[in-house]
Structure 1
Amino acid sequence: MESIYEDMKKGEKGAWVSIAAYLCLAALKLTIGLWTGSEALSADGLNNSTDIVASLAVLIGLRISRKPPDADHRYGHFRAETVSALVASFIMFAVGIQVLVQAAGSFREPNIASEGGIAAWTALFSAGAIYLVYLYNLRLAKRINSQALMAAAQDNRSDAFVSGGAFVGIIGAGWGVPWLDPLTAGIVGLIICRTAWCIFRDATHALTDGFDDGELQIMQQTIRSVPGVEKIIDIKARVHGNNKLVDVTIGVDRWLNVEQSHGITEQVERQMYELHQISHVHIHIEPCEASKERLQT
C-alpha cells in the first residue's frame, strides 16, 4: 500500500509539468490571438486555460488520495481524483460551448489576421511543446500505473492535435480563405466538448462502480486456475481511484481444514497481484464437493 501512495506522489510531477506548460502556452496563444485577430489561436488558448483547471483537478485529486484511511473513509480517499475529474469535465463543457458560439458568430463576419504568420508559427510551436509534455506524462503514467495521469497524457496529445489544426486553419486564412479560421475554431470547440464527455463518462462509470466485463472475465480465469479452487460462485470488482477492488466467493473442497483453505486464498491473492497488480482482493470461501478429477488424484 505504501508503494501506491509513493506512486501518486510521483504522479504529481506530471500534473505540475502540465500546469506549467498550459499556463505558458495559454498566455502566449491568447496574447498572439488577440493581437492578430486569430479566432482559431484564441480558441486554442482558451482550451489550454481549461486544461489548467483539469490538471489542477488531477493534482488536487492525487494529493487528497494520498490521505490515509480514517474513521469516515475506511477504504481511503482514492476516489477524490475521480470526483475532481468530474468537476473539471463540467468546466470544459462550458468553455467548449462558448468557443462553438463564438466560432459560429465569426462565420458571419470572418476576421482576416494581419499577422497570420506569427499566429501560425505560435500554433505550430505550441503543438510541438505540448506533445513533448504528452510523451513525458505517458511514460510516467505507465511507470506508476496511474489512470488519472494517463488521462491527462491523452488530453495533452489531443491538445497537440488541436494546435496543429489551428496552424492549418490560420495558414488557410492567410491564403484568402477567411472562413477556414473560424471553422477550425469550431472544430477546436467540438474537440473540447468531446474530451469533456470522455472524462465525464469515465468518471461517472467509476463512481457508479462500473467495471469492464472483459477484464473481469480474465480475472475469473486467473482465479479458476489456482489449485484448490473448485468453482467461482460470485465475483465482482470496482475501481477506487487508481486501485481495483475485487470481491470473490470461491468454492473449495468441503473436507479441507481452515489452514488449507487459507492457503488457497493466499495463492489467489498472490496470482491477482502478480498478473493484474491488484493488491486488495476480498475472498469468501464456501464448501463444495471436489471435482471428479481432484477426487481421483
Structure 2
Amino acid sequence: MQDQYSEIRQGEKGAWVSIGAYLVLSAAKLGAGYGFNSEALVADGFNNLTDIIASAAVLIGLRISQKPPDNDHAYGHFRAETIAALVASFIMAMVGVQVLITVARSFFAGEREVPGVLSAVVAIGSAVVMVGVYLYNKRLATRINNQALMAAAKDNLSDALVSTGAAIGIIGSQLGLPWLDPVAALAVGLLICKTAWEIFYSSTHALTDGFDDKKLKTLRYSIERTKGVKSIKDIKARVHGSNVLIDVIVQVDSRLSVVESHRISDEIERLMEHKHNIMSVHVHVEPYMPGAEEEAGKDGTLS
C-alpha cells in the first residue's frame, strides 16, 4: 500500500508540470491572440485556461487519494481522482460551449482583420512545448501506472494538436483565407467539448463500477490457468481510482484441504499482482462439482 501512495506522490510532479506550462502558454496565447486579432489563438488560450483547472483538479484528486483508509472509506480514497476528473469535464464543457458561441457570433460580424504572423509563431511554439509535456507525463504515468496522469498526458497531446490547428488557421489567413482563422477556432471549441465528453464518459463509467469486458476476459483467462483451479464460477472487477478490485469465485477439487485451497488463493493473488499489477483480489473457493460448468451461462455465472 505504501508503494501505491509513493507512486501517487510522484504523479503530482506531472500535474505541477502541466499547470506551470498551461499558466505560461495561456497568458502568451491570450495576449498574442487579442493583440494580433487571432480568434483561433484566443480560443486556444481559453482552452489552456480550462486545462489549468483540469490539471488542478487532478492534483487535488491525487492529494485526497493519498489519505489512508478510515471507518467510512475501507477501500481508501482512491476514487477522489475520478471525481476530480468528472468535475473538470463539466468545467471544460462550459468553456467549450462558450468558445463555440463566440465563434458563431464572429461569423456574422462582417469584415474581420487578418491575424498577425507573430500569433502563428506563438501557436507553433506552444505546440512544441505541449509535445514535450505530453512525453514527460506519458513516461511518468506508464512508470507508476497512474490512469489519472495518463488521461492528463492525452489532454496534453490534444492541446499540442489544437495549437497546431490554430497555427494553420492563422497562416491561412495570411495567405488570403481570412475565414480559416474562425474555422480553426470552431475546431478548437469542438475539440474542447469532445475531450470533456470523453473524460465525463470514462469517469462516470468508473464511478458506476463499469469495467472493460476485454480486460475482464484477460484476467479470467489468467486465473483459469492457475494450477489447482478447476473452473471459475464468477468473476467481477471494478476500478477504484487507478486501482482495480477483483472478486472471483473459483472451484477446486473437493478433496483438497483448507490449507491446500488457501494456497491456490494465494497463488491467484500473486499472479494478479505480478502479471497484471492488481493488488486487491478477493478469492472465494468452492468445491468443484463435475458437470456444473455445463449449467453455467456464457458470462461464467450459474443459471
**TM-score greater than 0.5 by the shorter chain:** yes
Question: Which position in structure 2 is the counterpart of 1:92?
Answer: 92
CA distance in 2, matches of 1:82, 1:134: 20
Name the residue aligned to 2:252.
Answer: 252
Structure 1 stretches of 4+ moved >4 Å: none
Q: Does 1:111 pair with 2:112?
A: yes
Matched, 1:219 2:219: yes
Equivalent residue number for residue 120 of structure 1: 120
Residue range with higher mean Cα deviation, 172-181 or 25-34: 172-181
CA deviation digits over 1:162-215, x for unaligned, max 9? 000000000111122111111100000000000000000100000000001111
Q: Find the counterpart in structure 2 of residue 58 from structure 1.
A: 58
Contact 1:112 1:174 in 2 (8 A): no
Offset at 1:254?
1.1
Q: Report SS of the residue matched to 2:177.
A: coil
Specify the SS of the correspondent of 2:287: strand
Counterpart residue number, 1:177: 177
Query: Amino acid of the residue matched to residue 113 of structure 2?
Result: I
Deviations 1:78-107 (A, max 9, x none): 000100100000010010011011111111
Residue equivalent to 1:32: 32
Amino acid at match of 2:279: S
- Give the secondary structure class of the aligned counterpart of 1:235: strand
1:111 offset after TM fit, Å?
A: 2.5
> Separation in 2 of the partners of 1:89 and 1:136?
23
Residue 294 (structure 1) aligns with: none
Instruction: Output the TM-score relative to the length of structure 2.
Output: 0.94
Residues of 2 paired with 1:46 and 1:150: CA distance?
22
Matched residues, percent identical?
58
Report the secondary structure of 1:230's partner residue.
strand
Counterpart Cα distance in 2 of 1:111 and 1:238: 52
Unaligned runs of 5+ in 1: 292-297
Query: Which whole-Å CA distance do the structure 2 matches of 1:99 and 1:290 have between them?
Result: 63
How many Å separate the matches in 2 of 1:238 and 1:40? 40
Counterpart check, 1:78 vs 2:78: yes
Q: When the two structures are superposed, what TM-score results if normalisation uses the length of structure 1? A: 0.96
What amino acid maps onto 2:66 in structure 1? Answer: R
Q: Distance in 2 between matches of 1:141 and 1:189?
A: 27
Deviation sequence 1:221-255 (CA, Å, 0-9, x none): 11110111111000000000010000000111111
Whether 2:98 is the aligned partner of 1:68: answer no
User: What's the secondary structure of 1:232's corresponding residue?
Assistant: strand
Work out whether residues 252 and 290 of structure 1, in 8 Å CA contact, stay in contact via their aligned partners in 2: no
List gaps (5 residues or longer) in structure 2. 292-303
Provide the C-alpha distance between the structure 1 equivalents of 2:31 and 2:238, rounded to a whole number of angstroms.
45
